[in-house]
Structure 1
Amino acid sequence: MKSLWRGVYPAVTTQFREDESLDIDATLAHVDALIEGGVHGLIMLGTVGENCSLDAVEKADLLKATVDHIDGRMPVLTGVAEYTTSLACRFSQSAQDAGVDGLMVLPAMVYKSDARETISHFRTVASATDLPIMCYNNPISYSIDISPEMFDEMADEPKFVAIKESSEDTRRITDIRNRCGDRYTLLCGVDDLVLESLVLGAEGWVSGLVNAFPAENRLLWDLAQAGKWQEALDVYRWYTPLLHLDTLPKLVQYIKLANVECGFGAETVRAPRLPLVGAERAAILKVIRDAIATRPDTSQVQTDAALAS
């Protein structure tokens, strides 16, 4: 298998009503806004999509609705973040039945597996479906590191086609390339390391803040692809205070609040997460509103991108 997953991929927020019930229609409306903003594909039910806050039926319903809504216009992937390997296999089978184009697989949740156990988990999940897999490495949040040596060992499994690298160590991009060549499509998984990762050879990124600023994400991508590095750097410097929000424990609340400020969706989250209040809310709102007040013009670059596509 060869991955065609490159460019800007949002980790899409899942929308809830005020009573915390799943709102599929609102989620799909937000998906439409992301598409209009120029994203290249969708990742449903990632961390930002509150994967672990939905039950199995809700996940299947949301994926089926999304696949039907997209109707082949772009790739639809789903996060796979379960507590055991068998549950991850079961969910992956359900996702394949729903029609998704690929899986973004994490190590099993809670238990801190060693290298042998982690590789076994990924290989077993790969055997459960026919779908290509993006391996998600996020040792900062999940305390399990998939090293370049482990990816080299896993390279004989053709379903492993891409890596979402979120170790916060940009040296990993070069280390994986040096060890594995172009075996994997590499995507940056840390919002505020995007430009550095593109320079080092990443072929796109999975982003949280793209939910609120899809056109600006596409602008940054287009400028980088055109080799307009100074212009890309100018956009990146504007964007970075926002992108920092993706690296903090309350990233879901921060991103949903940014969504609301930009006119997308609601900020409702499922407990134990709670909406922001007080000084914390005021501080995050200032970051968001300062960025909105100074956001770059995206119209010309998007027009050029549409003409080139």
Structure 2
Amino acid sequence: MASDWRGVFPAATTQFHDDESLDIPQTMKHVLHMIGQGVHGMIMLGTVGENCSLEYSEKLEVLRATVEAVGGKVPVLTGVAEYTTSLAQRFAEDAAKIGVDGLMVLPAMVYKSDPQETMTHFRAVANATDLPIMVYNNPVSYGVDITPEMFLELADEPKIVAIKESSENVRRITDLINLCGDRYTLLCGVDDLVLESIVLGAQGWISGLVNAFPAENRLLWDLATSGDYERAVEVYRWYTPLLHLDTHPKLVQYIKLAVQECGLGSEKTRAPRLALTGQEREQVLDVIRTGVANRPSLER
């Protein structure tokens, strides 16, 4: 099974009203803005989309609205982040009925599975759907590492077609290619390692800060993939202080604050995530506002 999941894919925010209810119109407005700025696909209900803060029915509501709003302009994927394998299978089935183009599947939440349990989880989800699957490897946040050797073992499952590599170890790109060849489409999942990952062979970038800076994300992608490394490094150095916001435990609050500062949505998150306050808020705002004030030219 092949996929065309290459280029810039936002891990889109889920927008909320002040009372924490879903703001579907603003979420869709933001999604369509990013598509208008040239992103290549859309991932709903990832970490930045606050997947685990939504009720099951709310997740499906977000996906229905997204599939309708996007209308096939770009591929739409959904995060699959559930507490049990059976619930992940059920969600995969329901998402397919809605019409998403693929699944970004995480290990089961909370329980730290061993390698055999982890691979069994992914195989079971694959068996429950006809959709192509991207495996999301983020041992830093979720405590389960899917090693290159495990991906080699999973290579006989045709529905697993891509890897979002977020181990924060850029060596993994090379290790995966050396071990698995071109079996998987590799996508960088750590914003402040993207240029290194592209040089080493990543074919896509699943980004958080793209929610606030979609045109700049596309610019950096185009420069790096066209071989204009001198300009790419220049843009990357401007962007890196902002991209560092993607690797903090409060990345959702940081990214949503950047979205708000750029006039593209609200910083509102669901508790237990709270709005930033005091010195922390001022420090993050300083990074955002400095970045906005010094935005690079979008000329390629």
Q: SS in structure 2 opposite 1:168?
A: coil
CA distance in 2, matches of 1:58, 1:140: 27
| 2:282 matched residue in structure 1 | 282
| Shift of residue 113, structure 1, vs aligned partner | 0.3
Alignment of 1:146 with 2:142, yes or no, is: no
Alignment of 1:3 with 2:3, yes or no, is: yes
- The amino acid that maps onto 1:75 is P
| Shift of residue 224, structure 1, vs aligned partner | 1.1
Q: TM-score when scaled to structure 2?
A: 0.99
| 2:96 matched residue in structure 1 | 96
| 1:58 matched residue in structure 2 | 58
Q: SS in structure 2 opposite 1:175?
A: helix
CA distance in 2, matches of 1:284, 1:37: 24
CA distance in 2, matches of 1:192, 1:4: 24
Once structures 1 and 2 are overlaid, which stretch shifts more, 41-50 or 91-100? Answer: 91-100
Alignment of 1:174 with 2:174, yes or no, is: yes
| 1:263 matched residue in structure 2 | 263
Number of residues of Structure 1 aligned to a counterpart in Structure 2: 300
| 1:246 matched residue in structure 2 | 246
CA distance in 1, matches of 2:35, 2:155: 32
CA distance in 2, matches of 1:61, 1:48: 17
Give the superposed CA RMSD: 0.6
CA distance in 2, matches of 1:11, 1:69: 17
| Shift of residue 117, structure 1, vs aligned partner | 0.2
Matches within 5 A, 1:111-130: 111-130=111-130
Provide, for residues 45-70 of structure 1, a one-character-per-residue CA deviation record: whole Å limited to 9, x for no partner. 00000000111111111101100111
| 1:307 matched residue in structure 2 | none
Gaps of 5+ in 1: 302-309
CA distance in 1, matches of 2:24, 2:96: 19
Q: SS in structure 1 opposite 2:205?
A: strand
CA distance in 2, matches of 1:184, 1:21: 38
| Shift of residue 273, structure 1, vs aligned partner | 0.4
- The amino acid that maps onto 1:107 is P
CA distance in 2, matches of 1:278, 1:33: 31
Please say if residues 198 and 225 of structure 2, whose CA atoms lie closer than 8 Å, have aligned partners that are also in contact. Answer: no
- The amino acid that maps onto 1:156 is D
Q: SS in structure 1 opposite 2:39?
A: coil
Provide, for residues 249-308 of structure 1, a one-character-per-residue CA deviation record: whole Å limited to 9, x for no partner. 00000000000111111111000000111111000000000000001111x33xxxxxxx
| 2:222 matched residue in structure 1 | 222
Alignment of 1:45 with 2:62, yes or no, is: no
- The amino acid that maps onto 1:114 is D
| Shift of residue 154, structure 1, vs aligned partner | 0.2
| 1:304 matched residue in structure 2 | none
Once structures 1 and 2 are overlaid, which stretch shifts more, 30-39 or 242-251? Answer: 30-39
Please say if residues 32 and 69 of structure 2, whose CA atoms lie closer than 8 Å, have aligned partners that are also in contact. Answer: no
| Shift of residue 229, structure 1, vs aligned partner | 0.2
Provide, for residues 96-141 of structure 1, a one-character-per-residue CA deviation record: whole Å limited to 9, x for no partner. 1110000000000000000000000000000111000000000000
| Shift of residue 22, structure 1, vs aligned partner | 0.4
CA distance in 1, matches of 2:263, 2:158: 41
Gaps of 5+ in 2: none
Runs (4+) of structure 1 moved beyond 4 Å?
A: none
CA distance in 2, matches of 1:204, 1:128: 26
Matches within 5 A, 1:160-171: 160-171=160-171
| Shift of residue 166, structure 1, vs aligned partner | 0.4
| Shift of residue 38, structure 1, vs aligned partner | 1.1
| 1:109 matched residue in structure 2 | 109
- The amino acid that maps onto 2:218 is R
| 1:87 matched residue in structure 2 | 87
What percentage of aligned pairs have identical amino acids? Answer: 71
Q: SS in structure 2 opposite 1:69?
A: helix
| 1:23 matched residue in structure 2 | 23
- The amino acid that maps onto 2:274 is L
- The amino acid that maps onto 1:203 is Q
